[in-house]
A and B are shown apart, each in its own frame.
Chain A
Amino acid sequence: MKIIEVDNLVKVYGKGKRALKAVDGVNFSVEEGEIFGFLGPNGAGKTTTINILCTLLLPTSGRALVAGHDVVRQQAAVRKSIGLVFQDPTVDEQLTAEENLLFHAILYNIEPASKRRARMETVLKMVELYERRKDTLKTFSGGMKRRLEIARGLMHYPRVLFLDEPTLGLDPQTRHHIWSYILELRERENITIFLTTHYMDEAEFADRIAIIDHGKIIALDTPDALKSMVARDVITVHTADDERMAEIVREQFGLDVRRNPDGRGFSFKVDGGAEFIPKFVEQSPVHVLSISLRRPTLDDVFLELTGRQIRDEEVTDKDRMRQRARMPVRGHIAR
C-alpha cells in the first residue's frame, strides 16, 4: 500500500523576479513500512517538501497524500497520522523529559492517563532516557534531546515518521546510536520512515533513495541500483605534476579526468581499479605522491548526476551564523 503519494508538487517562495522555486514538480510515492530517503545538498528542497507533507506549508501547486489524506484539505487527519523530528530541536528546555511528552500526548489526544503513562514509559525506555525522565532538558546533551524527540514523535503511534536530518550536528557515535533506534523501530512498530539527509552513509540505510537537487528529483532507486549507475571504481591520484599527468591519463587511457575541487590531484573512473594501479604507477613519467582507490558511493552518484559534490555545500555561511548566534543564547535567555 502506498502511504505517501506526491503528484507534481511545486512550491514557489516570493513573487515576480524574486520568486524562488524551492520544489519544482516533484513526483514520488512511498510504500508502507519502507525507509525512504531524500538525499541532496542544503537548499535542494528537502525540508520544504517535508514541511508541505506535514501540513506546515501550502504547496503552490500539485497534490500530496499522506496515509490517504490530502495535506491541504485534510490537515487534521494528516497530522494525526504522522510523527515528526525536525532538523532543529523543538523541545522545551525548561520542561522535563516527562513534561515534554505529556504536552505532546495531550495535544495528540492520547487518553486516558493510564494509556498515556504506559506509552510514555515504552518510548522513553526505547531511547534509554527513562531514568532521566524527571530532569529538565537544559541538562541534556544534543544527542539526548534528539533521542527524546524521536521518542516524542512516536508517542501517538504515527503511521509515518518524518525525520528531517535526524543526526545533523551530532558526533559519529551518537549518530550511530540514533540509527540503531531507527532501525529497531521499523522492526518493532512497522512504521514508515521518511528521512532527509545529506550524509551519504546515512542514506545507505534507506530502502530507496530519491536524489534531489534544485527542487527536482534527479534519480530514485535503491542505494545499490543507484551505485551501479557509476559502476566503475574511482581512483584519486596526486602527483608531482598533476597538470601533465592528467593529460597523459586522458590521452593514453582515454579516460575522463576530473580535477579535485581542492586543487590537489585529480580523479578518474576505471573498471578493475585494483589491477589498474600498478600499471599506472609503472608507466607514470612523473613522481606519484599518493594514490587511492574507492568503490563507488552515493557521493559519486550525485557527482555523476550533477557535476558537484554534496559536501561542497554542506555548511553555508547562513548555517554557520545561525549556529553561532544560537548557541550562547540558548542557555541564558530562557524566555
Chain B
Amino acid sequence: METPIAVKETGMGDITHSLRSIGIIWYREILRALRNRAMIVSSLGMPIIFLFIFGEGLSPSMGNLTRFMGGGADVNFIQYIFPGVIGMNVIMASIMSGVSVVWDREFGFLKEVLVAPVPRVAVVLGKVLGGATVGMLQGVMMLIFAPLLGVRLSVGMVLELIPVLFLLSLSLTSLGVAIAARMRSLESFQMIMQFILFPMIFLSGAMFPMRDLPAWMDFLVHINPVTYAVDPLRQIVLRAQNIPEQMLAMLPQFGLGVEVFGHAMTIQDDLMIITIFGALMVVLAMWLFSIRD
C-alpha cells in the first residue's frame, strides 16, 4: 500500500490577501484576550504570589545580593526576581497563546482557518504576532507592581523593555505554536505545563541567582532559551536601580547575570540568541503546520 508524501503549501499567494489574513488572525487573538477578563485577572495571580509572598518572604534572608562583590551597591532579592517574574508572565502568556492552537483544534475553529484559501505561512504568522502582542501586554502590565515593591522605574527603561518583551514573546509564542502544531488532544496540555513550562521558567535564573549551581543545573540553565529571554529584562531593570556602571558589568560573575564560557552576555547577545531561536521556531511551526495527513 502506498502512502502519499505530505503535500505542502508553497509561496504566499496574493500578498495583500495574505497580509490582510495575517491582520485578521492577529485581531482575533487580541479580541479574545481583551474579552477574557477572567484570564487577565488570573494571569496576575501567579506573579503576585511570586513577588509579594515568595519575593518579600525570601528577601530578608537573602540580604544584599552584591555583598560577595564587596558591596558598593544594593541589589535585593525583590529587585532581582522582579524582571524574572515579568519574564515568567510573558513566557506563560506566550506559550499558552501558542498552544491555544490545540484549543482551536478541539473546538473546531482551526478547521475554519485550515480550509480557507490562505497559505499556512500566513496562518502561523497571524497567530504568532497575536500571541506576541498579548504576551507583551501581559509583561507591561507587571510594571504596575514596581512602586509597591521598591523597584525604581524610569521612562527610558520602560521604553527599552517594550520591544524586548515583544521579541521574547514572539519567539516563545512560536515555540508554543510549534509544540501545538501536531498535538491532537487537550490532555497533552497538562504535560506541557509540567515538563516544558515550569522547568523552563525555574531553570532560567528568573527565580534565584545562578551562583554556584550544580554542574547539571548550570548546563540546563545555559541551554534553556528562556535564560536568554530573562537576562535582558534583568539587565534593563537593574540598570535603572542606581547601580554603578562598573558593578553592573561584574554582575554575571556573581550569578546575577548570564556568563557563557566566561563571556558576560550583553543585551545584544541575548537578543541575538532569542531572535535566532524565534526564527527557527517560526519556521518549524510553519513547516509542521503545512503538513497534511
Are the C-beta atoms of A90 and B35 separated by less than 8 Å? no
Are the C-beta atoms of A79 and B292 separated by less than 8 Å? no
- 8 Å CB contacts to A: which residues of B18-60? 20-21, 23-24, 28, 31-32, 35-36, 38-39
B118 at the interface (CB under 8 A from A): yes
A94 at the interface (CB under 8 A from B): yes
B103 at the interface (CB under 8 A from A): yes
A56 at the interface (CB under 8 A from B): yes
Could you tell me how many residues of chain A have their Cβ less than 8 Å away from some Cβ of chain B? 42
Choose among A73, A79, A80, A330 the residue that contacts B107 (Cβ–Cβ < 8 A): A330
Contacts of A109 in B (CB 8 A): 14, 17, 20, 117
Number of A-B contacts (CB under 8 A): 105
Q: How large is the interface on B (under 10, 10 to 19, 20 to 34, 35 or more residues)?
A: 35 or more
Are the C-beta atoms of A335 and B31 separated by less than 8 Å? no
Task: Name the segment of A99-107, A192-200, A255-263 touching the other chain.
Answer: A99-107
Task: Name the segment of B2-10, B190-198, B273-281 touching the other chain.
Answer: B2-10
Shortest CB–CB separation between residue A33 and chain B, in angstroms?
23
Residue in A closest to B100 when the chains form the complex, CB atoms: A335
- 8 Å CB contacts to B: which residues of A140-190? 152
B215 at the interface (CB under 8 A from A): no
Chain A interface SS verdict (over half): loop
Q: Could you tell me the distance between the alpha carbons of A136 and B28 in the complex, rounded to whole angstroms?
A: 13
- 8 Å CB contacts to A: which residues of B94-115? 96-97, 100, 103, 107-115
Q: Could you tell me the distance between the alpha carbons of A60 and B3 in the complex, rounded to whole angstroms?
A: 6
Are the C-beta atoms of B36 and A76 separated by less than 8 Å? no
Q: Could you tell me the distance between the alpha carbons of A246 and B96 in the complex, rounded to whole angstroms?
A: 64
Contacts of B115 in A (CB 8 A): 54-56, 79, 82, 84
Residue in B closest to A138 when the chains form the complex, CB atoms: B35
Q: Could you tell me the distance between the alpha carbons of A79 and B113 in the complex, rounded to whole angstroms?
A: 11
Which of B96, B114, B116 neighbours the largest number of chain A CB atoms within 10 Å of its CB? Answer: B116
The 10 closest A-B pairs by CB, nearest first: A90-B108, A107-B116, A79-B117, A106-B24, A90-B112, A109-B17, A80-B117, A88-B108, A90-B111, A94-B32
B-side residues, CB < 8 A to A, are 1-4, 6-7, 9, 13-14, 17, 20-21, 23-24, 28, 31-32, 35-36, 38-39, 96-97, 100, 103, 107-118, 292-293
Q: Can you show 11 pairs from A to B with CB atoms below 8 A apart?
A: A58-B6, A58-B292, A60-B4, A76-B13, A76-B117, A94-B36, A95-B32, A103-B28, A106-B23, A334-B32, A334-B35
A-side residues, CB < 8 A to B, are 12, 15, 19, 54-61, 72-73, 75-76, 79-80, 82, 84, 86, 88-95, 99, 102-104, 106-109, 136, 152, 330, 333-335
